[in-house]
Amino acid sequence: MKSKNRAAFIVNGILFAIVLLWTIPTIGLLVSSIRQRDDIRNSPWWSVLPHIGWVATGEQRAIPEGQSRDVPIVIDGVEALFSEWQEGVQVDGDTRLVWRGNLRTGQLDVYQSQWTWNFNFTLENYQQVLDGKSFEIRNADGSTTTVQGDNMLGSFLNSLTVAIPATIIPILIAAFAAYGFAWMSFPGRRFLFIIVVALLVVPLQVSLIPILRDYQSLGLTGTYLGIWLAHAGFGLPLAVYLLYNYISGLPKEILESAFIDGASHFTVFFRLVLPLSVPALASFAIFQFLWVWNDYLVALIFLTTDSTKEVMTMQIAGMVGTRGDDWHLLTAAAFVSMIVPLIVFFSLQRFFVRGLMAGSVKG
């Protein structure tokens, strides 16, 4: 019994460590998204936690006269170059001096080592990312700069417009196909199912250009219908395979009793199979929604001709190029893109494992 408890403790400890390692970056992203612009540039995100750090005392010292940039400067018995004094030099165990200003007219700011934290949070980062309004940012030297917001609300709605139908369409088609493969007899059933399984290994990148050429001839480039069909086609093989494993494992007696009572395949599918297959449907819905929501390549190829239909992944990629130094905005945009997938996953989480284990054990 002791050995079993020890093994369970070790396993749970390892799982907790893995979960913690995966959670820490998300916590860091959230904290960074609500911090001030200057705070992110000057300190790491974990500085919001209580820690021992250098805190300005408000005291200033006069700089020594007649110094040169190329010659080490001695202050309080500590020798360092001018550039090092500008970064800050520790002169004793609890005191740090930082040279502010130029070589002739600057001053020495005094910092003390003590317990500190930084709870200077703000929601202006999210307002700037979502509203698209102009904001004034105060610089370190006291000046202000007016910047234009990014207005991600439109791309957020575009992502919802793409993701929701692109999740529902393959689920409906795959559910019909899985039921047919599992409970209906027709010529070539086994061969067609093998083809569906074989399509799982076809690389996505191989089919993008041929589909794009067909879309251009059909006038579907830059339309929501085009990207819905593309995502549905790429997601159907896995959806059919996953739902087939679950539907084929349903109790045979229930369906046979329904057929004896005169129910058609259509009635059995909607009245029995769909309600009993909710775990498998929810499991695939999580996969498909996350893939479509986080997709960049397919959206870039099929929606790039219409800038008004830009999804979030495309706009965030553009922000990386235009706002590469504004981590407070990039982290806010990244966390906005995470909110909906997190809601979807936690809403359907109780079905997730049951759906994935469908058909894995027989007998």
pLDDT score recorded for residue 151: 78
Mean pLDDT of the 187-196 span: 89
Q: What dihedral angle (degrees, nearest 10) is formed by the CA atoms of 349, 352, 353, 354? A: 120
Report d(CA 185, CA 81) in Å as an integer. 85
Measured CA angle at 169 (ends 167, 172), to 5 deg: 110
Does 355 have pLDDT greater than 60?
no
Tokens of 80: 């360092």
C-alpha distances (whole Å) from 189 to each of 54, 179, 265, 342 are: 72, 12, 17, 38
* pLDDT one-digit tens code per residue, 33-61: 888 887 888 788 888 888 788 788 878 88
Q: Are 342 and 186 in contact (CB under 8 A)?
A: no
pLDDT score recorded for residue 361: 44
SS3 content of the chain, % helix, strand, coil (to 5): 65, 15, 25
| Residue 159, beta-bridge partner list | none
pLDDT band at 170 (very low <50, low <70, confident <90, very high): very high
Mean pLDDT of the 50-77 span: 78
Query: Which CATH topology does 153-356 take?
Result: MetI-like fold (1.10.3720)
pLDDT score recorded for residue 18: 92
- N residues, the chain: 363
Greater pLDDT, 360 or 236:
236
pLDDT score recorded for residue 163: 93
Q: What is the DSSP letter of 175?
A: H
pLDDT score recorded for residue 139: 59
* pLDDT one-digit tens code per residue, 79-116: 888 788 888 888 877 888 888 887 777 788 888 888 88
Report d(CA 81, CA 70) in Å as an integer. 7
Tokens of 293: 């929501």
Q: Considering the entire predicted model, what is its pTM?
A: 0.75
pLDDT band at 133 (very low <50, low <70, confident <90, very high): low
Does 149 have pLDDT greater than 70?
no
pLDDT score recorded for residue 359: 47
C-alpha distances (whole Å) from 242 to each of 235, 356, 357 are: 11, 8, 9
